Chain A
Amino acid sequence: MVTRNSQNTYITTDTNNQVLMPAQPAFLATHGATTGSVTGDGTNYNVIFANEIFDQNSDYNNATGIFTAPVTGRYLLNGAVCYSNLGAAHTSGSTYIYTSNRTYYSSIMNAYAVSTGGLLGFTSGCTADMDAADSALCVALINNGAKTVQVYQSSYFSGVLIC
């Protein structure tokens, strides 16, 4: 069965009744390359995930790292920032998701203490209420040391309109 609006397919089912929504806003972007020194001294760094893996509906901007909601709804957002070059002084940090309606502080911890040789992955996730044209982005913040912390290439940001 295929359900259509007046123009295009928006829900497809195959003969096994597996459902896809090929036009549903959904994106996944990876960092692609390790940055230079972007935080460590309290700098809030808006992570730019430049390498788009997919971007259904073209709502994610890989030049700015900003996802813009095309329609009012509920969005599942996940950010995973992997930090490298953490030093002993970097005893405070957070990875969080900023949206126009609110900020989700999903990870706060002593970054260096839980790192492995100065390498640490922080995740942040939420089901966010977003209005049409609202923005969402993932922010990396490490405190108490020098601005020497890098965002590692394996970091990623993803989201999907869920209802």
Chain B
Amino acid sequence: MVTRNSVNTYTVPTTANEVTMPAQPAFLGVLSGTDSNVTGNGAAYTVGTNTAFTEIFDQNADFNVNGTFTAPVTGRYMLVVNIQMDNVAAGMTTGVFDIVTSNRTYNVLNLNPLVMIDASTNDLALESNAIADMDTADTAYCSITISGGVGNTVDLETAGTFFCGKLIC
């Protein structure tokens, strides 16, 4: 059976009652390549600015590959960000990850990246999330700021840098 509103399919149950919502706003963007030299000496960098995301899926077409998601309707959105960074250098002892929405900024992580980096790969990857109140046409994006270094030498790696979200209610 397919349940419809006046225009389109919005919930699709299978015979086992598993429900998919193929028109529900939902997206997953993965960084398309290494984004080099974006932060390290205090520069606040919006992920997707210099190196675009690749859309894995973008139901309802609300995600821009520059890293900005625009809410199509007022509601509550689950937003998840994962950042993988490389080339954290001496002095870079302060790291801030934010999910920035029009209504508020979610300071999802504060940490000392220098002591956390993987000794084998010199990488650091972390994930965080927020359930955000967003109004129609509000935007959301991810920002990273690493401070204390002598230059903006930190790179973002494609394997572990992604941004995803979904309208949940």
A residues lining the B interface (CB < 8 Å):
3, 5-11, 19, 21, 23-25, 57, 70-74, 76, 91-94, 102-110, 113-114, 123-129, 143-144, 161-163
Contact = CB atoms under 8 A, between A and B. Distances in A.
Interface of B: 1, 3, 11, 13-22, 24, 26, 28, 30, 56-57, 59, 78, 80, 82, 84, 115-121, 123-127, 129, 159-160, 162, 164-166, 168-169
A56 to B, nearest CB: 9
A122 B169 CA distance: 28
30 contacts: A3-B11, A5-B1, A6-B15, A8-B17, A10-B18, A23-B16, A23-B19, A70-B18, A71-B14, A73-B18, A74-B28, A74-B59, A91-B119, A91-B120, A92-B119, A93-B118, A105-B159, A106-B125, A108-B125, A109-B118, A109-B126, A110-B119, A113-B115, A126-B82, A126-B164, A127-B80, A128-B28, A162-B26, A162-B78, A163-B22
A107 B57 contact: no
Given A92-B118, A105-B159, A107-B127, A23 B168 contact: no
A107 B125 contact: yes
A138 to B, nearest CB: 13
Contacts of A161: 18-20
Chain B interface mostly helix, strand, loop or mixed?
A: strand
Nearest to B21: A163
B87 to A, nearest CB: 14
Nearest to A127: B164
Contacts of B24: 163
A144 B120 contact: yes
Given A106-B125, A108-B160, A126-B162, A10 B17 contact: yes
Given A91-B120, A107-B125, A129-B57, A73 B164 contact: no
A6 to B, nearest CB: 6
